Amino acid sequence: MTAWETEVRDFHLTSITAGSDCAILQVAGEIDVYTTPMLREGVIDLLDKDAVHIITDMRNVEFLDSTGLGALVGSLKRLRVREGSLGLVIDSDRLLRIFRITGLIQVFPIHSSVPEAITADAH
């Protein structure tokens, strides 16, 4: 079920296929200047496997900086080119505050659980 796993500097990334063109990307740890390239590559890897609807589970993310936000926006753009989507699962008030302050709460569909995100995404 797990397509691949990577662990570096308090960062863990796992992908789970959730249909022919859907996947769940579980992220844990810190998303920063050092780990952002791995997040970006994780999305590109899923795109290469024809997943264009991705739910990024960020419930175990402890830290997110501007490079991480940039990677998420870039990933959304990549997916939209292929008529895809990128939903986020966030249950941390601290992370939600970052998305509110930056206005990205208007850009990404944000859910509190993976089942809620799956139900909300028609794909």
The model's pLDDT over 27-63, given as tens digits with 9 standing for 90+, comes to: 999 999 999 999 999 999 999 999 999 999 999 999 9
Q: Which among 117, 112, 41 is positioned nearest to 85, based on CA atoms?
A: 117
Number of domains in the chain: 1
Residue 70 lies in a domain: yes
Question: How do residues 81-94 score in pLDDT, each as one tens digit?
Answer: 999 999 999 999 99
Residue 122 lies in a domain: no
Residue 18 lies in a domain: yes
Which residue range is the domain that position 14 belongs to? 2-115
CA gap 100, 48 in Å, rounded: 31
> Which structure tokens are listed for 14?
């796992």
Kindly report the number of other CB atoms within 10 A of residue 23's CB atom.
23
Q: Which amino acid is at 119?
A: T
Residue 56 lies in a domain: yes
Residue 120 lies in a domain: no
3-state secondary structure of 34: coil
CA gap 105, 52 in Å, rounded: 21
Query: How would you class 36 by CB atoms within 10 Å of its CB: exposed for 0-12, middle for 13-18, buried for 19 or more?
Result: buried
Residue 67 lies in a domain: yes
Residue 53 lies in a domain: yes
CATH at 94: 3.30.750.24
pTM over cut 0.85: yes
Residue 60 lies in a domain: yes
